Structure 1
Amino acid sequence: MKSILIKNAQLVNEGNTTTADVLVKDGRIEQIGPGIAAEADQTIDATGLHLLPGAIDDQVHFREPGLTHKARIETEARAAVAGGTTSFMEMPNTVPNTVTQELLEDKYKIASQTSLANYSFYMGATNDNLAEVLLTNPNTVCGIKIFMGSSTGNMLVDNEETLEQIFAKARLPIAVHCEDEQTIRDNMAIYEEKYGEDIPIKCHPEIRNETACFKSSFLAVKLAEKHNTRLHILHISTEEELKLFRNDIPLEQKRITAEVCVHHLWFDKEDYDTYGTLIKCNPAVKEHRHKEGLLQGLLEDKLDVIATDHAPHTWEEKQGKYKQAPSGVPLVQHSVQMMLEFVKQGKLPIEKVVEKMAHAPAILFNVRERGYIREGYWADLVLVDLNKPYTVTKDNTYYLCNWSPFEGHTFSSTITHTFVSGHLAFANGEFDESKKGERLLFDR
């Protein structure tokens, strides 16, 4: 591999921003400091640019196998890298569902051949695959995924005994989608009675409401407390749920943690007027107060991770009426820029963005030698120009579905370079796919 010397960067890492050089050799960070004079195969002058550790997205849906008309690991990983995400953890609701060890390894084989980003895949739980779930290797797989609320793929786990057993016996983190199924069904019946097949999209957060989210998250927390489970609750979308999480102990000591997704920080109920079903997702984008509450929860460290729940569907699929249009939004290419927009607006310090998108996922999932800019660690790095505007177009959107809710929007920052395991995979709009990403490993 080429050695690379990055000069004069504003390095953002572990709560500080400093001017420094970084030398990369054999895929890893060899030296960090001012005025490094070493020879390198390539030197990049990063004057005026910020150097961040690559984002680790702990929740994406890349749709392969079985749903490859929507997305493929290859295409979505490229989009992730273009947006500054260097590692992803992908969900099991593909076709077939990833519910056996054999099907899980099939995904790893695909990624090893096609993924530009580093990768891991969740083992999926069902009501009747406990034995397979418990075979999952904690050192080579990111976690176990449980849908405690139905969503795309119909992997609902609602058997109380199964839930008890998984929470009691799992040897690796359990990541959960929390929405109470009965609450949603009862609400849907009310709105179907009122509107028939023409339910307005703005009713989505009333059908999949605060009660559905809190009730399910509360149950998951109680199960985790009972069994001392390592629990991670995905895509928190309500202000009410924040009371379930602690901020009085260090992250490393937490047994129960929470993720917030970029769309729940960015959009609110009023945006359905503009975007319609394009921002239909589960859990739903809700009222403005939740968006503000989630941002505060992030600042107060009740929310530990920022992720995307990247979930592409075709443009045609998303044009259906409320009940027909599938839930999910493609987001992974622009998540870092979205959060840097909050930095520009004074809502988040850039150090907090790095903490929640890189450091925290590395801590929570015990990711080996990634998530930080440290000597000896893998060189997963991103250079950003905070003062170079970037307009989203179809031509520079790399998802297979080829649409984004941000088409036509101008972000105030531009991702200029992305290094994946020491390989310069993306530079100034051009990809180098001569080297693929690495399988993530975990110290557990």
Structure 2
Amino acid sequence: MSSVLIKNVNIVNEGEIVNSDVYIEDGIFKEIAANISAKSPDVQVFDGENKYLLPGVIDDQVHFREPGLTHKATIETESRAAVAGGITSFIEMPNTNPQTTTIEKLEEKFEIAAKSSYANYSFMFGGTNDNLEEIKKLDASKVAALKLFLGSSTGNMLVDNPEVLEKIFASTNLLIAVHCEDEDTIKKNTAIYKERYGEDIPINFHPIIRSEEACYLSSSKAVALAKKTGARLHVFHLSTAKELELFDNTIPLKEKKITAEVCIHHLWFSDKDYHDKGTFIKWNPAVKGEKDRDALFQALLDDKLDVIATDHAPHTREEKENVYTKAPSGGPLVQHALPAMLEFYHEGKIELEKIVEKMCHNPAILFEIEKRGYIKEGYFADAVLVDLNAPWTVNNENIAYKCGWSPFEGTTFKSRITHTFVNGSLVYKNFKFYDIKNAARLTFNRPA
């Protein structure tokens, strides 16, 4: 493995920005100091002047569709798009086909990623109403978390038996990550609008069907159950202002037992965007009103929300163009998440240090990921070089997703990811991909 020296770069790390040199050797940050000289003629030297070096982003919630749904995406195609977006590590969800609800199926996904992924990887194990014994067999040092769908499930992954749910919460030391929407509320709301409009319900009713009530009812139950059982709970993709009252910002993240995240689309879009974007911004939970969006952003700044993720969930253009009841929810986001957050930086809404905290440091803390998420000597050399003043426009020629579209098509971002390093190897440079798969399985600082 070649060594890398990045000269005169602005390092964004642990709440400060420091100009320095960074030397990488054998995939590790070896030295961070001023005026480092190349150790040998084989060292790759990069000029970091006027650029910013961020730790590689860790995305804790993606759907890469493999196995079984590979007409939409694969681990290879979406991890490739991820590194173009500065995401060097991902945690993928269990609702593939077959679902990741047995240890055998979990290990099969690890085998696929080991051969094909451009980014570091781990997977969540899926809970169901009838696999508690399999959950108990999991080695907490080898799996990212347990994922429970408390609404909007696929297949048999909706965990709707209260007795089983409490047993799961009480029986595992793993972090439990949950999708919270109340299924009964959504079914009743859907029936009302189907009676009125048939299958072609106007998309602007999506946040009314998948309502604030549906979200709060489910998330509040999950939080109450975590408090009752002492379980470690992480609530995915908050979408309403009301839910924020369930979360705390008075203690450090390491001490929190109950945490929450927000996704890029809930920070960027609002219900006003349905008119132009239609079902291409149909997500579960739904994009809601401007007041919700603004409250979520403020909660991010105030540390009630701990992590920024993507919930990257690609579907084909043809699938998304269906009528409301047939169009699947979800969209591709890994390539454009960091550029979108950097756009907020340019607008004065968030500091670079806060972006790094929420996208790099906090996922590493939350999931107890070993030696990633920071630019530190001795840590794995996952890093992203960013030019804050290199505008580019999202279009068909530079979209890397297998599905070939993005909800950001036509958007011009002021900041460009110029280089992405995974375990010290340059895997992406200015819209060019290198066929280097130096990714590793994520490891965790936890007892088995």
Deviation digits for residues 8-53 of structure 1 (CA, Å, limit 9, x no counterpart): 1110000001101100000000001111124251100110110000
Answer yes or no: is 1:337 the counterpart of 2:343.
no
Tell me whether 104-113 or 398-407 shows the greater mean CA deviation: 398-407
Q: Aligned residue for 2:73?
A: 71
Tell me whether 430-439 or 329-338 shows the greater mean CA deviation: 430-439
What is the alpha-carbon distance in structure 1 between the residues aligned to residue 162 and residue 420 of structure 2? 44
What is the alpha-carbon distance in structure 1 between the residues aligned to residue 413 and residue 219 of structure 2? 34
Answer yes or no: is 1:31 the counterpart of 2:52.
no
Q: Aligned residue for 2:103?
A: 101
Correspondence list, 1:401-440, <5 A: 401-440=403-442
Deviation digits for residues 336-363 of structure 1 (CA, Å, limit 9, x no counterpart): 0000000000001110000000000000
Q: 2:356 aligns with which of 338, 354, 357?
A: 354
| Residue identity matched to 1:20 | S
Tell me whether 180-189 or 290-299 shows the greater mean CA deviation: 180-189
Question: How far does residue 198 in structure 1 lie from its aligned partner after superposition?
Answer: 2.2
Number of residue pairs aligned between Structure 1 and Structure 2: 444
Q: Aligned residue for 1:255?
A: 257
> SS of the residue aligned with 1:43?
strand
CA contact (8 A) 2:240 2:296 kept: yes
Tell me whether 390-399 or 37-46 shows the greater mean CA deviation: 37-46
Structure 1 gap segments, 5+ residues each: none
> SS of the residue aligned with 2:199?
coil
What is the alpha-carbon distance in structure 1 between the residues aligned to residue 307 and residue 18 of structure 2? 24
Length-normalised TM-score, structure 1: 0.99
Answer yes or no: is 1:292 the counterpart of 2:294.
yes
Structure 1: which 4+ aligned runs deviate by more than 4 Å? none
> SS of the residue aligned with 1:104?
helix
Question: How far does residue 154 in structure 1 lie from its aligned partner after superposition?
Answer: 5.2
What is the alpha-carbon distance in structure 2 between the residues aligned to residue 10 and residue 49 of structure 1? 6
What is the alpha-carbon distance in structure 2 between the residues aligned to residue 54 and residue 154 of structure 1? 34
> SS of the residue aligned with 1:122?
strand
Deviation digits for residues 45-80 of structure 1 (CA, Å, limit 9, x no counterpart): 110110000110000000000000000000000000
Q: Aligned residue for 1:233?
A: 235
Tell me whether 404-413 or 280-289 shows the greater mean CA deviation: 404-413
Q: Aligned residue for 2:208?
A: 206
CA contact (8 A) 2:423 2:438 kept: no
Deviation digits for residues 359-397 of structure 1 (CA, Å, limit 9, x no counterpart): 000000000000000000000100000000011111211
What is the alpha-carbon distance in structure 1 between the residues aligned to residue 330 and residue 156 of structure 2? 14
Q: Aligned residue for 2:316?
A: 314
Question: How far does residue 435 in structure 1 lie from its aligned partner after superposition?
Answer: 3.0
| Residue identity matched to 2:375 | I
Question: How far does residue 434 in structure 1 lie from its aligned partner after superposition?
Answer: 2.8
Q: Aligned residue for 2:135?
A: 133
| Residue identity matched to 2:247 | F
CA contact (8 A) 1:390 1:414 kept: yes
Correspondence list, 1:212-223, <5 A: 212-223=214-225
| Residue identity matched to 2:49 | T
Q: 2:368 aligns with which of 359, 366, 369?
A: 366
Q: Aligned residue for 1:86?
A: 88
CA contact (8 A) 1:151 1:282 kept: no
CA contact (8 A) 1:23 1:32 kept: yes
Percent identity of equivalent pairs:
60
Question: How far does residue 152 in structure 1 lie from its aligned partner after superposition?
Answer: 4.5
CA contact (8 A) 2:385 2:418 kept: yes
CA contact (8 A) 2:102 2:134 kept: yes
| Residue identity matched to 2:328 | P
RMSD: 0.9
Q: Aligned residue for 1:22?
A: 22
Q: 2:158 aligns with which of 156, 159, 163?
A: 156
Q: Aligned residue for 2:117?
A: 115
Q: 2:402 aligns with which of 395, 400, 403?
A: 400
Q: Aligned residue for 2:64?
A: 62
| Residue identity matched to 1:150 | S
CA contact (8 A) 1:178 1:217 kept: yes
| Residue identity matched to 2:334 | V
CA contact (8 A) 1:113 1:436 kept: no
Question: How far does residue 153 in structure 1 lie from its aligned partner after superposition?
Answer: 4.7
What is the alpha-carbon distance in structure 1 between the residues aligned to residue 247 and residue 436 of structure 2? 43
CA contact (8 A) 2:27 2:380 kept: yes
Q: Aligned residue for 1:173?
A: 175
CA contact (8 A) 2:116 2:437 kept: no
CA contact (8 A) 1:22 1:31 kept: yes
| Residue identity matched to 1:376 | G
Length-normalised TM-score, structure 2: 0.98
What is the alpha-carbon distance in structure 2 between the residues aligned to residue 152 and residue 84 of structure 1? 29
Q: Aligned residue for 2:246?
A: 244
Tell me whether 387-396 or 365-374 shows the greater mean CA deviation: 387-396
What is the alpha-carbon distance in structure 2 between the residues aligned to residue 70 and residue 428 of structure 1? 25
Question: How far does residue 433 in structure 1 lie from its aligned partner after superposition?
Answer: 2.4
Tell me whether 394-403 or 277-286 shows the greater mean CA deviation: 394-403
| Residue identity matched to 2:22 | V
> SS of the residue aligned with 1:241?
helix
Structure 2 gap segments, 5+ residues each: none
What is the alpha-carbon distance in structure 1 between the residues aligned to residue 69 and residue 156 of structure 2? 14
> SS of the residue aligned with 2:443?
coil
